[in-house]
Structure 1
Amino acid sequence: MNLVVHDFWAANQSTAAAMLAFLGRHNTRAETIEFRRGALPPYPTLLHNLHRHRLTAEAWHPWMLRILDIPEAIRLRGWPADLNATVPIEIENENGGTGDRYILRITAGSAEISPTHVQGKVTLTRRQLAVWYADGYRTATSARMAGVHAASEKALATLVRSTADLEPWLPDHF
């Protein structure tokens, strides 16, 4: 028997630990328990005391993501508590022409984005914005290989770092 967990919800971390302990008991009937990416909230509960189990990680995005309200999406996403950064970005319009300019400010675990007239140091399409938001770029090099344009390597590295260690929790499947 194999078990695939697409969605995992718990009221708090101790409840999550108890649920994981139940799933990982020595007498479980499931030979394999697989957690899909995005199924777990962003805190390190799963990988403790799993010395008897073989762990594998696979990249899988079960959702189609299109950000309609950019300021609200930025506000609601989790951000690194130790990062304080300001990055001017430009998001191309649907036809590939000159896009909207924004200033992204990340401070102590929260972020906001607001319109500006300052030229962007990083230029993203709507699709690239969704990939960045969903933690799809692990390095500045991978972002550049995907077509993200940057006038500043530091700005691009900061943008990638802002999402690299804290995945958004996107439990909805479409």
Structure 2
Amino acid sequence: MSDIAIPAEEAVEGAEKKRSRLPLLIGLVLAIGAGGAGFYVMQSGLLMGGGHGAPARVQGMPDIAYVPVEQILISLPPGAPGRHLRFAAQIEVARANAAEVTLLMPRVLDVLNSYLRAVDPAGFDDPGAMTRLRAQMLRRIQIVTGEGRVRDLLITEFVLN
């Protein structure tokens, strides 16, 4: 077998030696420190928020308002998955801008009506269609109302029948 033989005393002595726990403790301390640092960075807005433009953390409800968009009924062309599209939404705005956006609602309805009539109805079956439509409508509303007034568009009804 092997020409080198380990004396029995040395073999038992090496097996009884305990492994050091220092690397485990150092790893644990570093993991806790990294977790704490990551929590601080995310909570303070240093990452993915930039500090500027991030919504202020307020107890209770944020300073927002929702402006309702009247229901829009659009006739779809022949061969579409349905005959009509029924659409309704809410526009999320800062409370201070709610009156201005409400005043501009006829223009918002016009731009939404024009856009929805121009969309190819065959695209409604695509799984990503709602996200794409929402982004396009939001951008058009932001252009009509002016930059910084509208935060988001919440689609409350999108029915093909």
TM-score (norm 2): 0.26
Higher helix share: 2
Of structures 1 and 2, the larger Rg is shown by 2
